[in-house]
Chains A and B, each alone.
Chain A
Amino acid sequence: AQSVTQPDIHITVSEGASLELRCNYSYGATPYLFWYVQSPGQGLQLLLKYFSGDTLVQGIKGFEAEFKRSQSSFNLRKPSVHWSDAAEYFCAVGAGNNNDMRFGAGTRLTVKP
Chain B
Amino acid sequence: DAGITQSPRHKVTETGTPVTLRCHQTENHRYMYWYRQDPGHGLRLIHYSYGVKDTDKGEVSDGYSVSRSKTEDFLLTLESATSSQTSVYFCAISVQGDYGYTFGSGTRLTVV
Contact = CB atoms under 8 A, between A and B. Distances in A.
Our verdict on whether A and B bind, yes or no, reads: yes
Contacts of B96: 98
A42 B104 CA distance: 8
Interface in B87-112: 90, 92, 94, 96-97, 99-106
A103 B102 contact: no
B45 interface: yes
B103 A94 contact: no
A106 B101 CA distance: 17
Interface of A: 4, 6, 32, 34, 36, 41-46, 49, 51, 90, 94, 96-106
30 contacts: A36-B103, A41-B105, A41-B106, A43-B90, A43-B103, A43-B104, A43-B105, A43-B106, A44-B43, A44-B90, A44-B101, A46-B102, A51-B99, A90-B42, A90-B43, A98-B30, A98-B50, A98-B94, A98-B99, A99-B56, A101-B33, A101-B45, A101-B99, A103-B35, A103-B43, A103-B44, A105-B40, A105-B41, A105-B42, A106-B42
Interface of B: 30-31, 33, 35, 40-45, 48, 50, 56, 90, 92, 94, 96-97, 99-106
